[in-house]
Amino acid sequence: LDHPGVAPVARAVSVERGGVLRGAYLIGVAVGEPLALTLAGGLQITPADTLRIAAELADALAELHARGLVHLD
């Protein structure tokens, strides 16, 4: 998966929970400050930036879902 809004996969693993074997992907850590901390520090985001960020997130999630992947946290 190569998408600018999705962290790269570090490795794939299998996990058993409740007798069910499930596949999982471990992703790399995103670099940067969490948006919540940025906003708590007083930064205000314009409505245009809010829409851009939301569109980027939706595009990344659509790419994951199109490949049959689900984000669980």
> Given pLDDT bands bounded at 50, 70 and 90, which one contains residue 72?
low
Which candidate, 3, 51, 54, places its Cα nearest to that of 30?
3
Per-residue pLDDT tens for 21-38? 888 777 777 778 888 888
Kindly tell me the number of DSSP H helices and DSSP E strands found in the chain. 2, 2
pTM: 0.65
**Which residues, including other chains, have CB under 8 Å from residue 1's CB and lie 6 or more apart?**
9, 63, 64, 67, 69
Place of tokens 């794939």: 12
The chain-wide mean pLDDT, for the chain, equals: 84
pLDDT of residue 55: 96
pLDDT over 60 at 73, yes or no: no
Amino acid at 46: T
Cβ 60 vs Cβ 6: under 8 Å: yes
User: If you average pLDDT over residues 5-21, what whole number do you get?
Assistant: 83
